[in-house]
Amino acid sequence: MAEEMMVLMLQLGIILIVSKFIGYIFAKYLKQPKVLGELVAGMIIGPYLLGGIAIGSLAPLFPLPMNSTVPVSPALYGISTLGSIFLLFGSGLETDLPTFIRFSGKATVIGLSGVIISFFLGAGVTVLFRPEVNSIMEPEALFLGTVCTATSIGITARILGENKKIGTPEGVTIMAAAVLDDVISIVLLSVVVGISSVQLEGGTVAWSMIGFVAFKAIAFWVVCMVLGIILAPHFTKNMKKLGELPLISEVSFGIALLLAGFSEMAGLAMIIGAYITGLSLSQTDVANSLSKRIDSVSEFFVPVFFAVMGMMVNFGALKAVLGFALIFSAIAFIGKLVGCGAPALLVGFNLRGAFRIGSGMLPRGEVTLIVAGIGLASGAINHELFGVAVMTMLVASVTAPPLLLEAFKSGGSGYKRSLDFNGNADQITIELDFPSMRAAQFICDTVMEGFIQEGFFVSKLDSSKYASYQIRKDDIVILLNMIRGEDEEATVRFFCGREEESFVRLMMLESVADFKEFATTISSMGDTNMISAQLLMNMFLEK
């Protein structure tokens, strides 16, 4: 056990160092997503390249396990799975739930279309180019068709998260459709396994058993989604009574792990349970605080997940089927791009939005490997066709991230109509001007401290233009922006609902009292300071 843990620590150390540096090079100099660098790092140091080479008397750092379709140790694969759960839990927290719900119907149309078109294209090209396969109902065609249907929600979520696009109409549609894709792919897998087992062993198809497995998976997904959204506000409300935000974060992630395990028990991928948990908590007042805490930890685990995915690529196994693998990968690429992009045009997206959605549905990853691994283990496909599935994952994983990044670079909305969820007429703006950033910062700090004492959660938002904060408690959401003007002047803006206006102004008056005490202290230090303090005080009070 001690020796195995020693090897695991060495492996993790190498993965983190190499994947972080290559990810940095891809982002800094090649202007590509970091996830692509992490995938490439896994390919380089994996067991099929440098990681499988023995140096002198030293054994390979990443040896191939015996009798396993996964080319890494169970311990390392477990760490990478934990990374995928961190990633999808965090992505769920960053998803805008009202937008997700509003676009879920459109995502269903897009996801179903992508699955149907991809399946028949994948199965059809297998029949066309593999002489030994005569029908799409044969095991090889069924499994490769199913391989085409899955979308890697992990890769998509990482790219959207890095570029702050998860909350956009296209982002939530991609995430919802990708989750649906994975659910349908797993359900389809159970059907394909049942049919293939009968064909390989002889007998009749147990449609009742296959139907029960499919119903169980879909029912689990729907019930968890509904219950999670309903129960999450009550959970956080009761947990806040304990007064420990770290405890809320830890328990919430514990629930994500439980639901991930239950998802696997129900026949779904574990990442789906993690995403449902994050999505359910996304509209609670602790969501931003949870997201910050999760992100700080996931930066250590998520690169391991993508590096291990890169290690799956067996370059040697691709030689015998390279031609067919390239054709199949191209068909799988077209199946998602057209199969998901075309229906997006019919449900309200413009050409820009349809291209973004089609690009976002391209990546293949963990579910593709699950499908291919089960097909290999059952004898439905051989090692060559398993290599085709891996090649498909490789091509999609390398080409999709830069394509998706480029799709969002153009800017502009991808939705045909303007969006207005909350009725902006009920939102008001309270604005204050200050002679210096120091005075503005003093007031902001005092106001935010007052909100915290009243049970609000304050989170700093990412912004390159100005300091921006979200102040939230239950259903109350207040935004605070502090903007630097010319000549060191500063403006503080509060955005809140009309019902919260009086409360915000009361908090500001309390800050004025603190400011008055501060100015009085300065004025007692001398005549010049007194004049400066009085001028500053008058300017503030006039506002």
* 349 shares a domain with 469: no
Q: Please state the three-class secondary structure of 12-38 as a single string.
A: HHHHHHHHHHHHHHHHHCCCCCHHHHH
pTM: 0.76
Q: What is the mean pLDDT of residues 422-438?
A: 72
The CA distance from 38 to 41, in Å, is 5
Q: Which residue has the tokens 């503005």?
A: 440
* 404 shares a domain with 348: yes
Q: For 453-502, write each residue's pLDDT tens digit.
A: 887 888 777 655 567 888 888 778 888 888 877 666 888 888 888 888 88
The pLDDT value given to residue 422: 45
| Domain-located, residue 416 | no
* 458 shares a domain with 376: no
Percent of the chain surpassing pLDDT 90: 24
Nearest alpha carbon to residue 155 among 359, 364, 339: 364
pLDDT-based confidence at residue 543 (cuts at 50, 70, 90): very low
| Domain-located, residue 39 | no
pLDDT-based confidence at residue 110 (cuts at 50, 70, 90): very high
Total count of domains within the chain: 2
Q: For 214-272, write each residue's pLDDT tens digit.
A: 788 788 888 999 999 999 989 988 888 887 878 999 999 999 999 999 988 887 778 88
The pLDDT value given to residue 365: 66
Q: What sign does the dihedral 44-47-49-52 (CA atoms) show?
A: positive
The pLDDT value given to residue 342: 93
| Domain-located, residue 483 | yes
| Domain-located, residue 29 | no
Those residues with Cβ within 8 angstroms of residue 207's Cβ, 6 or more apart along the chain or in another chain: 194
Domain end point (choices 380, 409, 438): 409
* 431 shares a domain with 311: no
Q: What is the domain extent for residue 491?
A: 424-542
pLDDT-based confidence at residue 277 (cuts at 50, 70, 90): very high
Q: Is the pLDDT of residue 420 over 60?
A: no
279, 12 contact by CB (below 8 A): no
Q: For 499-528, write each residue's pLDDT tens digit.
A: 888 888 888 887 777 766 766 666 665 555
In the 8-state DSSP scheme, what is residue 316? Answer: G
The pLDDT value given to residue 530: 52
Q: For 6-25, write each residue's pLDDT tens digit.
A: 999 999 999 999 999 999 99
> Phi/psi at 176 (nearest 5 deg)?
-65, -45
Domain end point (choices 381, 409, 437): 409
The pLDDT value given to residue 541: 47
* 431 shares a domain with 304: no
Q: For 39-49, write each residue's pLDDT tens digit.
A: 889 989 999 89
Q: Is the pLDDT of residue 34 over 70?
A: yes
* 219 shares a domain with 330: yes
The CA distance from 408 to 400, in Å, is 13
Residue 526's SS3 state is coil
pLDDT-based confidence at residue 542 (cuts at 50, 70, 90): very low
| Domain-located, residue 57 | no
* 469 shares a domain with 376: no
The pLDDT value given to residue 395: 83
Q: Is the pLDDT of residue 302 over 60?
A: yes
Q: For 80-94, write each residue's pLDDT tens digit.
A: 999 989 988 998 888
The CA distance from 65 to 273, in Å, is 28
Compute and round to an integer the Cα radius of gyration of the chain. Answer: 27
Q: Which residue has the tokens 């029912």?
A: 219
Q: For 303-358, write each residue's pLDDT tens digit.
A: 998 898 888 777 777 777 888 989 999 999 999 999 999 999 998 899 999 999 99
Nearest alpha carbon to residue 101 among 355, 359, 421: 421
The pLDDT value given to residue 536: 54
185: left (phi over 0), alpha (psi -120 to 50) or beta: alpha
* 461 shares a domain with 404: no
Q: Which residue has the tokens 């509904």?
A: 226
Q: For 451-465, write each residue's pLDDT tens digit.
A: 888 878 887 776 555
Q: Which range among 254-258, 346-350, 386-390, 535-539 shows the weakest confidence by mean pLDDT?
A: 535-539
Residue 240's SS3 state is helix
CATH number for the domain that contains residue 313: 1.20.1530.20
Q: For 147-195, write each residue's pLDDT tens digit.
A: 888 787 777 887 888 777 887 888 889 988 888 887 787 778 777 877 7
Q: What is the mean pLDDT of residues 136-151?
A: 86
Mean of pLDDT over the chain: 82
Nearest alpha carbon to residue 175 among 121, 225, 104, 119: 104
The pLDDT value given to residue 409: 82
* 267 shares a domain with 127: yes
